[in-house]
Each structure stands twice: as structure tokens, then as C-alpha cells.
Amino acid sequence: MKERLILLLANPRNIGHLCDIIGTMPNIKTGTKGGEVFWSTLASHGGWRIQQNLFTRHCRLLDPFNNRIAWGSESAMMSALKQVTTSY
């Protein structure tokens, strides 16, 4: 297990590939600074944003208050964004 973790961390983009395989990762609602440095915004709607990490390529869904609501693959976050914006 330790060797697999070392291989995963050896290349940050492996985290993005893992998210592509799994989809939505387990999440704890976490405050962020809004992605001012290492994130690019892929989509936004009503203050909600999907951002992609510039190094790992994994994505996250932020609410209008910059809290991370979910993280995982781009397609999983697009689905999550659609779900939260249609329910409001």
C-alpha cells in the first residue's frame, strides 16, 4: 500500500487520473480562499464554481461562499454543479 501511495504522489497528475476513475471523492465541507493561486475556473453559475487544479488536474465544486462542497473528476463536478443549481 505504501508503495502505491508513493507512486501516486510521485506525479501530481495521478490524482487527477484517480478522480477520473472514481468520479466524486469523499468530501468534508472545507473553506477555501477561492482558488486565487493554483486553480482555474472551468464553469460558474449563480455564484457556484467548478475549479480545476493546475497541477493535479482534479476539480472541485465551490459554493458562493468559497466552501468546497465536492471534489473529483471534471465530469462528476459538472454533474454536481447542474444538480445544485437546478435545486435552488
pTM here is: 0.81
Q: Work out the average pLDDT over 1-13.
A: 69
DSSP code per residue over 39-79: EEEEEEETTEEEEEETTT--EEEE-TTSEEEEEE-HHHHHH
Nearest 5°: the CA angle 57, 61, 64 is 135
Q: Give the model confidence (pLDDT) of 21-78 as tens digits.
A: 787 888 889 899 988 899 999 999 999 999 999 999 999 999 999 999 999 999 999 9
Q: Quick check: 15 pLDDT over 80?
A: no
Q: Is 38 helix (H, G, I), strand (E, B) or coil?
A: coil
Q: What are phi and psi of 27, to 5 degrees?
A: -140, 145
